[in-house]
Amino acid sequence: MSLHKQIYNVGVPEYWQTVMPPLQHSLVGDAVMMNQFEPLVGRGTQGMLVPLAAKSWEFSQDKRILKFHIDTSRRFSDGSSLYAEDFKRSWEDGLRLQPKSSNSSLTDALANLNGFDQFRGKEGIAGIKVVSSDILELEFDKPVRNALEHLSGVRYAAYKIIDGKPVGTGPYVMAEENQVLTLRVNMYYAGKAPALQNVKIVAVPNKEALKKLQDGSIDAFLFAEVAGITGCSDGKLKQIKCAIGQEGTHLIVTLNGMSGRFFSDSLHRRAFQSLLLRRLAEPKNSWPQQLLVDGFFLDPQSFLKFQAGRLTESEAQAIIDKGAPHIQRFVQATQAHPLELSQHWDWLIDFLVSKGVKVGVPFEAKDRLSMTYKTFKPDILLMGASVSDADPDGLYHLLGRNGAIFSPMWERPGVTEGMESGRQLLDPAELPKHYQDVSRKILEEVPYVHVGYLSRSIAYNSEKFKISESVRSRSDDPGIRLFEPAE
Amino acid sequence: MISINEWVNDNARRPIIRLLVLYVVAQVLYFGYLTYTRYTNLLARAALAAESISLGVAQSNRPLIESSVLALLGDSNVASVALCAGAIDTISYPQSAGGYCRQGGTDKLHWKIIKPLVGGQGLILLIGLSPSVTLFPLLAILTITLLISFAIVSNTLKISKKLEMDVFAPLYAGFNNESAFHIKELEEFRQQNAAHLTLVKDKAAADAMVVMAAQVAHDIRSPLAALGAAAKGLELLPVEQRSLIEGSVSRMQGIADDLLQRYRAPSAGQAAAKTAIYALGGLIEQVLSEKRLQHKDKTGLKIEFNASPVEIKALVEPKELQRLLSNLINNSVEAFAGPGKVEVSLSALDGKVLIEVKDNGKGIPPEILAKLGRKGETHGKAGGTGLGLYHARVSVESWGGSLKITSKAGKGTTVSITLPAAARPAAGLRAALLDDDPLVHMNWRLAAKAAGAWLQSFKTPQEFTVAAETLPRDIPLYIDSDLGNDIKGEEIAKDLREKGFTDITMATGHGAEKFSHLPWLKVAGKEPPWA
């Protein structure tokens, strides 16, 4: 079949909810929208920032002014050219939209801009200046060390609404129907034409991913690390292969630590952390099946190995172990207050019950975003959060007060303040000590248990695709642009 | 002298093998150099990476570590990079389920570079190399080279065998063999050779026939001369019969002379036929006698000869003259549907000789008449080639004469041959003959008697030498070219010339060209000069 007619079906683990860049809150949304929209900067294959919509950029001496030179040769898929104004408009319009999470997904990078706090929807943000059609200038009240890295997220892309739908300058034009995205090549795309001409993206439940890959319903599955596919990287699944990258996802058991809730008691939280991590410290062959997947490794710390903020293993373990004396108290407390949790991890429920923990009737976690950011119903909720950057400020989106996926459920002032002040540190030598303090507070206070990391993974049918670049870096594009037709 | 195999070994197989070995060695050296260079460059890059990663570890700068590792992975020789704490991967790119550090970073297909990190808490940098990038292409090229080498050597062996089978084995059998060659050029050569052999055989047979004919001709010349001389003395026979005998003898002599002439100068052919002055009446009468006998069964046919009362001579080739007259008479006879008359006349006037062959047949149409005598033109004869009249005209013209045809439809045709008249050669009334053949002596004596001439004949040079002192120095001397006992007539002629004899003629069957180196020597046949 001609490559022009060949349709490639790509599965993602959940519905992307939106294709509006400023409303992106999930890994899937990021991967999907990368096909249609382009932020100012991107990531190269070695993890370094590279020009995208901006041809170049420059910081002021005090790191408060960041000036971009926009590539005005780029064009939206309606044929119109890209200008600096498009970014200001896109960001301000995006901030006016009702976010899915507690904060707008744009706040990670923009919250420190001059005039951001005064932005109420009518007036623009003073710190976003359109100097000319091709120069965009950002003025921060306080410097943000990792501002550029945050701006590489697709949620900061420029977009236009054409016929009620957003369009961008990326390689594809997307159209959605019945929760199926159809991708066609953007004829005005300024970069190298994508290898795949016709692509459909569809949400596939994790449990069905492998089956659909094998029966040919889908040709690839993004974020396969969450699908629990085993044997994929060892060639045991014949034509189904996996490309495994670096740590891409924090695997977290979030606890509702809001005032008045069960885990607002810090001793309960520490006891739970200790109880759970003790279980996982047992030999790997006794682990629950859900964790015996390619690319998962146990790690109780939220900062990566060798990252500023990383504690020694012994110190971290010592902090964790301080919760052990309170396990009995925790178990007893659940008798009066059975824990509310979803069905997502059956083994966790079984484990807790086996330890005497009283669990309420598990409920179906249909809308975890709503539970996390709006209703706060559960006491325990499983969560995957992207490891966005190797800089410790990469964790800001999860733990920072203005983080894109920050939730009041795990808000602790000591940590949020630490994340806030940490992002203003410009001297790398100051980072380890500062973030180690934050790291200790996370282990001691934050109502979640960091279970470990899942390496980024893409499962694909090697008879249909070949991967043009190995998924080595977490910052590599996880989207379909990695693929080339097998023939 | 060497065998084919040795030749192929020396000139093809060994040189090719030497070249291939040299090529493989050069390739190995070159790729070895490339591999070494790439490996040392990689070691340098690994050392730099180890330094920056050490710094990253010391500063808890994960981005620095990651960019250093990813930069290493950008090298196509690098398959994996891991930071190992003992057997545990702390960081590994790309992720491996088995763990690079536990495997020690090496297996059959992957080699490693290990660099301890400076102040890195016992960490080591483990770089897994990808032999597929450096080693496999080398092995692939070497394998291809070896396969090609094997194929080339194997092919030279096959070529050797094929040469032996297709070329040399048939050559051993020879070009005279009837089996066809497999090689086109050799087969063409064999066929040419076969054709040549056939020609040689045919020529040998023809030569043998010619030699035999020449021998016969030579051997009957003397008896014929004697018979001719004897016939002249048969005065009791009627004139016609005597003329018939004389004519027949003359024709047989002509045939013998012609055979000898062809034997001696085969390329000269008819054009080189010997011409001489002959009395034409006898020649014509002989032909007419033959024609009368030939056509005696044709009722009402008359062949008449109106001969001149005086002897008429001309320079002709008698056999050819008789042949063309025979043809002309035949033409006339064939012109009759019934009775008819052919008149042949011979006359002389004003130094010209005129021979006419006249018939009263149906005649020749004017449009045909104008073309007759040209090559390929014929009239009234089924299967005629048109060569008879053509050759007649050519022959007559070669004797200095002309041929003319006149005809009237219903009246008849006349062919007129005009020739220059020849005077009788001044042989004189005296002559001396030196010849070892007694028949020749008899012939000459008869002729001399008939002519009233004085002849003195000798059988050996000794006899002639004794008598030579008494002979006048201007007497015509006739000497045979072969006097027996390997005595050559021309040597005798030289001696006699030195003794003062001035008129010496070689009476021989040989052509004059044989004696062209003796310009003072005349050359004539063996007939008496008074014929």
Interchain contact, A46 vs B91, CB within 8 Å: no
Residues within 8 A of A (CB atoms), B 86-115 only: 90-91, 93-97
Q: Which of B139, B63, B150, B80 is nearest to B114 (CA)?
A: B80
Shortest Cα distance, chain B CAs vs residue A464, angstroms: 22
* Residues contacting A320, CB < 8 A, separation 6+: A273, A274, A277, A300, A443
Per-residue pLDDT band for A210 (boundaries 50, 70, 90) equals very high
Among the partner residues B62, B83, B94, nearest to A307 by beta-carbon distance: B62
A340 touches chain B (CB under 8 A): no
Among the partner residues B59, B66, B94, nearest to A470 by beta-carbon distance: B94
> Does domain B275-424 fall into CATH 3.40.640.10?
no
Give CA–CA dist A423/A211, Å, rounded: 44
Give tens-digit pLDDT for A59-81.
Answer: 999 999 999 999 999 999 999 99
State which of A234-243, A420-429, B344-353, B359-368 shows the largest mean pLDDT: A420-429
Any idea which architecture B430-524 has in CATH?
A: 3-Layer(aba) Sandwich (3.40)
State which of A64-78, A98-112, A380-394, B314-328 shows the largest mean pLDDT: A64-78
B61 touches chain A (CB under 8 A): yes
Residue B206 — φ and ψ, nearest 5°? Answer: -65, -40
Q: Which of A446, A450, A115, A191 is nearest to A302 (CA)?
A: A450
Task: Look at residue B263 and tell me whether its pLDDT is greater than 70.
Answer: no
Shortest Cα distance, chain B CAs vs residue A109, angstroms: 19
Cis previous bond, B94, omega within 30 = yes
State which of A444-448, B32-36, B430-434 shows the largest mean pLDDT: A444-448
What is the predicted pLDDT for the residue at B129? 84
Around Cβ B240, how many Cβ atoms within 10 Å?
10
DSSP symbol at A209: H
Interface test with chain A among B62, B102, B123, by most A beta carbons within 10 Å: B62
Interchain contact, B97 vs A309, CB within 8 Å: no
Query: B358 burial class (0-12, 13-18, 19+ CB within 10 angstroms)?
Result: buried
Task: Look at residue A379 and tell me whether its pLDDT is greater than 80.
Answer: yes
Shortest Cα distance, chain A CAs vs residue B133, angstroms: 16
Query: B239 burial class (0-12, 13-18, 19+ CB within 10 angstroms)?
Result: exposed
Higher-pLDDT residue of A209 and B159 is: A209
Per-residue pLDDT band for A472 (boundaries 50, 70, 90) equals low
Partners of B78 on chain A (C-beta within 8 Å) are none
What is the predicted pLDDT for the residue at A130? 97
For residues A192-215, give the mean pLDDT: 91
Task: Look at residue B99 and tell me whether its pLDDT is greater than 60.
Answer: yes
Give tens-digit pLDDT for A237-257.
Answer: 888 988 888 888 899 999 999
Q: Quote the tokens at residue B187.
A: 């087969």
Shortest Cα distance, chain A CAs vs residue B42, angstroms: 18
For residues B244-250, give the mean pLDDT: 72
Partners of A429 on chain B (C-beta within 8 Å) are 59
Partners of A427 on chain B (C-beta within 8 Å) are none
Q: Which of A473, A455, A400 is nearest to A50 (CA)?
A: A473
For residues B372-389, give the mean pLDDT: 60
A294 touches chain B (CB under 8 A): yes
Specify the pairing of strand B301-306 against strand B340-349: parallel
A481: which strand partners?
A: none
What is the predicted pLDDT for the residue at B394? 85
Task: Look at residue B427 and tell me whether its pLDDT is greater than 60.
Answer: no
Give tens-digit pLDDT for A109-158.
Answer: 999 999 998 887 667 899 999 999 999 999 999 999 999 999 999 999 99
| Torsion over CA: A342, A346, A351, A354 (sign) | positive
Partners of B91 on chain A (C-beta within 8 Å) are 305-306
Partners of B125 on chain A (C-beta within 8 Å) are none
The answer to whether A170 and A164 are in contact (CB under 8 A) is no
Beta strands in A367-447 (DSSP E): 380-386
* Residues contacting A269, CB < 8 A, separation 6+: A255, A257, A263, A323, A445, A447
What is the predicted pLDDT for the residue at A388? 83
A431-458 as b/e: b if 16+ CB within 10 A? bbebbbbbbbbbbbbbbbbbbbbbbbbb
What is the predicted pLDDT for the residue at B272? 44
Residues within 8 A of B (CB atoms), A 419-478 only: 428-429, 431-432, 455, 470-473
Specify the pairing of strand B454-458 against strand B477-480: unpaired
Instruction: Kindly list the structural domains of chain A, giving each domain's residue range(s) and its CATH number in brackets, ordered by start.
Output: 7-193+464-485 (3.90.76.10), 248-455 (3.10.105.10)
Give CA–CA dist A27/A388, Å, rounded: 10
Among the partner residues B59, B60, B70, nearest to A47 by beta-carbon distance: B70
B4: which strand partners?
A: none
Among the partner residues A48, A294, A306, nearest to B67 by beta-carbon distance: A48
Give CA–CA dist B325/B316, Å, rounded: 12
Q: Which of A108, A138, A140 is nearest to A388 (CA)?
A: A108
DSSP string, B462-509: HHHHHHHTTS-TTS-EEEESB-STT-BHHHHHHHHHHTT---EEEESS
Give tens-digit pLDDT for A9-25.
Answer: 999 998 998 999 999 88
Q: For chain B, what percent of residues have pLDDT higher than 70?
A: 88
Task: Look at residue B107 and tell me whether its pLDDT is greater than 80.
Answer: no
Interchain contact, A46 vs B62, CB within 8 Å: no
Amino acid identity at A296? F
- Considering chain A, what is the average pLDDT of its residues? 90
Interface test with chain B among A306, A393, A453, by most B beta carbons within 10 Å: A306
A231 touches chain B (CB under 8 A): no
Shortest Cα distance, chain A CAs vs residue B64, angstroms: 9
Higher-pLDDT residue of A481 and A174 is: A174
State which of B352-356, B381-385, B429-433 shows the largest mean pLDDT: B352-356
Give CA–CA dist B304/B290, Å, rounded: 12
What is the predicted pLDDT for the residue at B380? 59
Partners of A245 on chain B (C-beta within 8 Å) are 94-95
ipTM value for the complex: 0.85
State which of A202-206, B130-134, B178-182 shows the largest mean pLDDT: A202-206
pTM over 0.95: no
What is the predicted pLDDT for the residue at B531? 59
